[in-house]
Amino acid sequence: MSDPLRVSRRKFVQQGAGSTAAMLAAPFALAAPSAARAARPAASDRVVVGLIGPGDFGRRQHLKKLLLPNPRVRVAAVADVDQLHREQAALDVQARTGQKISIYKDFRDLLDRPDIDAVVIAVPDHWHALAAIAALEAGKDVYCEKPLSLTIEQGRAMVAAARRYGRVFQTGSQQRSDTHYFRQAHELVRSGAIGRLTKVAVHIGGGPAGVWQRPQTPPPSLDWNFWLGPAPYVDYTPNRCHYLFRWFADYSGGSITDHGAHQNDIAQWIIGADDSGPTKVEGTGTFHENGPSDVPARFHVEFTYGRHGNVPLIFTSDPSPRGGNLEIYGTDGWLSVSRRRILAEHPEVLTADPLPHDYQARLTDSYVRHYANWLDCIQSRERPVCDVEIGHRSATICHLAGIALRLRRPLNWDPTAEEFIDDAPANRLLNRPMRGPWHL
């Protein structure tokens, strides 16, 4: 006779976390995985994962460093519009596990599989919303790479879908799971170690101009029309496709949304605006004079957080005075933070650093913890450290910057209604038409 109180993780997940109360989910599980959870679970209790987009980053980071070595996960399938990507990924899985997995060109076929619990989405930005919403509606938990969305409207639709289906959604902003620099900066600000917060400055570089190429026939392995999906049709050139897509406005926002999504995520966290945002934005910038990249090359954007003590956030491509990606100013001192180190005007406020000073090791550690947090939450049905709402709000900062740089005028933003105030033309930039048959 079966024991009704003993429910396997698989059954627990398939039943939608057992209770609706859990689905409605208390925010924020702890970032650190417990030792027991980190141990190798029974095969039947591993989270069965599908990887959508095992190309560049999807393969070398998600598949090879995070999924395949993870004892809590079994990779069951991959989907990619490039045959070379999906076949290579399948070979990677076979080499590591000895298992042959299914490969799909169309991610919707992967999502039809009831045995897959969760998906990792590492496709180009213009596909994030469509892939993630389809996954959520198929009952999968989701880990989606940053920047969460291509437009603010897409991000809001992703949040709505996650809540509608009660799914766990981790945004791939792994700096949230960094155990020392970023978390320490956040805790120092929260504890008042630098006094009252007076300003946050995010410094990232610009993006490359790229090189011009003549349109050409796509390689036989690539379904170019599918790769474009909802984006406007253009003839194929390699420099718009894998990895390089991020320098083209049809698919991404350039460094503003690429690296900017990471650092603005921490800025929002430090300001305390995870479920909110700024009230004003204004910026100036330049674009690459001769292309082909058509996203901002250099920029300086200023936000005001009117609902958070009027704290200004500066977002710029200029180098910072101390080399950090985040310069945090308080009435009693400053902090300078990056993935490589943390500095303080008064060094005595800093705690001892338990981790080795190895950049790659630190980066990998934060990814591993971010994944562990996601997997913990799949089990507990709590919201992860970078829940979809947080990811959406962080991406919104980046999108607001992009809109302000194009319009070159001060904009008033209502973070509750998520629209510009008294500016219909600006509000038209909150979404973009999608090429059929794709739609939100």
Query: Judged by CB, which is closer to other proteins: 361, or 421?
Result: 421
Which of 75, 81, 55 lies closest to 145, judged by CA?
55
Binding mask 232-271 for other proteins (x = CB under 8 A): xxxx------------------------------------
Q: Please answer whether residues 297 and 290 qualify as being in contact, where contact means their C-beta atoms are separated by less than 8 angstroms.
A: no
Determine if 27 is a binding residue for other proteins (CB under 8 A).
Answer: no
CB-based burial of residue 2 (10 Å sphere; 0-12 exposed, 13-18 middle, 19+ buried)?
A: exposed
Determine if 433 is a binding residue for other proteins (CB under 8 A).
Answer: yes
Cα angle for residues 106, 110, 113 (degrees, 5° grid): 145
Please list every residue from 356 through 415 that binds other proteins, using CB under 8 A: 406-409
Binding mask 281-310 for other proteins (x = CB under 8 A): ------x--xxx-x----------------
Query: Judged by CB, which is closer to other proteins: 193, or 434?
Result: 434
Give the whole-angstrom CA distance, residue 254 versus residue 198: 28
Q: Which of 2, 4, 20, 357 binds other proteins (CB under 8 A)?
A: 20
DSSP 142-199: EEEESS--SSHHHHHHHHHHHHHHT--EEEE-GGGG-SSHHHHHHHHHHHTTT-SEEE
Cα angle for residues 276, 375, 116 (degrees, 5° grid): 110
Determine if 218 is a binding residue for other proteins (CB under 8 A).
Answer: no
Query: Judged by CB, which is closer to other proteins: 16, or 333?
Result: 16
Query: Judged by CB, which is closer to other proteins: 234, or 361?
Result: 234
How many amino acids of this chain bind other proteins (CB under 8 A)? 41
Determine if 422 is a binding residue for other proteins (CB under 8 A).
Answer: yes
**Span from 45-53, 253-261, 380-388, 416-424 in contact with other proteins (CB under 8 A):** 416-424
Contacts of 111 (CB under 8 A, 6+ apart): 50, 119, 134, 135, 138, 140
Residue 97's H or E segment, with its range, is helix 83-97
Binding mask 34-73 for other proteins (x = CB under 8 A): ----------------------------------------
Give the whole-angstrom CA distance, residue 246 versus residue 296: 11
Least Å from the CB of residue 4 to other proteins:
19
Neighbours of 8 (CB within 10 A): 11
Least Å from the CB of residue 212 to other proteins:
5
**Contacts with other proteins, residue ranges (CB under 8 A):** 16, 20, 23-24, 112, 137-139, 160, 163-166, 212, 232-235, 287, 290-292, 294, 406-409, 422-426, 428-429, 432-437, 439
